[in-house]
Amino acid sequence: MKLRVYVAFLGLLVVSAASGLAPSATAAVAAKPHVALQQLFDGYGDSGKGSTWTGGAPVQSVSLPDGRTAWSFATTYLGTVAKNKSRDAATPTVHSSWVIQAKGNGKLTTTVLGAGNTDFYPSPVPGAFYEPAGAVVENGKLYQLLWLTADVNNPVRIDVATISLPSFTLEGITTTKFLDTHSVQTSAQLYPTVWGGAVVQDSTYTYVYGTENTYADFANFAHVARIPRGQFATGTPEYWSGSGWDATTPLTSARIFGGTTLGGVHLTGSNGAGGLRLVAQGYGVGTSAYDVMMWTAKQPQGPYKSTFVYTIKKEPGDNGCCALAYYPMEVPQYETGPSSLVVGYLDDGGTDHTSNVRLYRPRFVNGTIG
């Protein structure tokens, strides 16, 4: 996991903004550690016994209809945490898992895995795995987009999983109608778009965001598509072309924001009283590849305004050059109003994920938008 993010950041370090789609950032959000949320996950992880979550890469937090919250993780450490707060060197990992948070007392209660404590999403292809991405609840079921891949920056295809609620049982995985991510989509675009990094809804549509990875130009750009609400697993996407929504020729998908301010392929989004906003890793504001950025707009296709949220500080024990903090995600379940912003991100810690359980766990920050 670390390598694929490092590749994206490496390019971002050596180029100036490549497009007018990278707006000037506004003042920083006032941010500080979210102590209660941090203690919740650290306590659950430290109590890990064999087949329960002890750390992982955050992707999504999803509110379920019965009041619970489901937390989706990609690469996940299981195992047992020792008294000295370390993991055994042989600690098992899976590529996908869920952690369920109870209604009411808010305790983390269950780690949901596949049969035999394996990946929750079993891969249909040897040598590849499913990287979980954007998720949404519709028609009483939970749907999650999945990247079938051996490298998250270059998925083979995009599938969609259907999960029964409230039992949280995987019903099945099917292919989507999103354009093959290996296809070049416009003469101006030049590079494929990885669809599904973020999912946002309004009363009529579900909007799915994708990231165009421009390895040669070293700048990432966001794109957006939409599906009629209630048809997430079956609907035909329409892609924003820059002047309208087009379902007949997805090759017209347009860049909506990005450049050197946007890093990585995972985003999270929310749509509330304060308007639509997206959170992702960024670069180009300061002198660090650890910037967290927020983009806001009145409508999914933009125009977008960017806001620098904060620069992540490396944790004690991070391993030199190879330590990264990435995959920032918004946690709307813990926000208290339009000016509140709660973000979680992964502290990778470099090559050593076993001697210190604080590494390869999410860290949480509570922000106030000025």
CA distance linking residue 247 with residue 240, whole number of Å: 9
Mean local confidence (pLDDT), 321-334:
74
Averaged pLDDT for residues 94-105: 94
| pLDDT for 25 | 46
Give the span between the Cα atoms of 59 and 191, in whole angstroms.
Answer: 24
**pLDDT score at 24:** 42
Query: What DSSP designation does 38 have?
Result: H
CA 362 – CA 262 distance, rounded (Å): 20
Tell me the pLDDT band of 288, cut-offs 50, 70 and 90. Answer: low
How high is the pLDDT of residue 226? 94
CA-angle at 133, arms to 370 and 158, nearest 5°: 140
Q: Does 323 score more than 50 pLDDT?
A: no
The answer to whether the beta carbons of residues 5 and 264 sit under 8 Å apart is yes
pLDDT of residue 227: 93
Q: If DSSP codes are grouped into helix, strand and coil, which group holds residue 321?
A: helix
Answer with the residue of higher pLDDT: 22 or 79.
79
The one-letter code for the residue type at 284 is G
Average pLDDT for residues 67-96, to the nearest whole number?
91
Give residue-wise pLDDT tens across range 182-221. Answer: 555 555 555 677 888 899 999 999 999 988 877 655 578 8
Of 5 and 202, more confident: 202
Q: Among 83, 103, 74, which Cα is nearest to 362's? A: 74
What pLDDT was estimated at residue 346? 82
Q: pLDDT class for 174, splitting at 50, 70, 90?
A: very high
Query: What's the angle, vertex CA 67, arms to CA 62 and CA 73, rounded to 5?
Result: 25
Task: Count up the domains in the chain and report the number.
Answer: 1
Band of pLDDT at residue 353, cut at 50, 70 and 90: confident
Distances (CA, A) of 245 to 167, 238, 270, 289, 295: 37, 6, 21, 34, 21
| Phi–psi pair at 169, nearest 5 degrees | -105, 130
Highest mean pLDDT among 168-172, 240-244, 332-336, 358-362: 168-172
Sign (positive or negative) of CA dihedral 22, 23, 24, 29? negative
Question: Is-contact 65 91, C-beta < 8 A?
Answer: no
Nearest Cα to 290, choosing from 323, 269, 319, 313?
Answer: 313
Lowest pLDDT segment from 18-27, 259-268, 292-301, 360-369: 18-27
Q: Which long-range contacts (CB under 8 A, 24 or more apart) does 239-247 make?
A: 239/179, 240/300, 240/301
The pLDDT assigned to 318 comes to: 55
11 pLDDT exceeds 50?
no
Give the mean model confidence (pLDDT) for residues 11-36: 52
Query: Which residue shows structure tokens 């003042």?
Result: 27
Q: Rounded CA gap, 211 and 306, in Å? A: 16
Sign of CA dihedral 274, 278, 281, 284: negative
CA distance 348 to 3: 11
pLDDT at 122 over 70: yes
| DSSP assigned state of 114 | B
- CATH at residue 200: 2.115.10
- Compare 128 and 31 and report the one with higher pLDDT: 128
Domain around 128: 2-368
Contact 283, 253 (CB under 8 A): no
With a pLDDT cut of 90, the percent of the chain lying above it is: 37
Cis peptide before 166 (omega within 30 of 0): yes
Q: Note the pLDDT of residue 358.
A: 82
Looking at residue 153, its pLDDT comes to 60
Cα–Cα distance for residue pair 223/168, rounded to 1 Å = 31
Dist CA 98 CA 74 (whole Å)? 9
Alpha helix segments (H runs only) across 164-312: none
Least confident interval from 127-131, 259-263, 277-281, 366-370: 259-263
**What pLDDT score does 6 carry?**
26
pTM over 0.75: yes
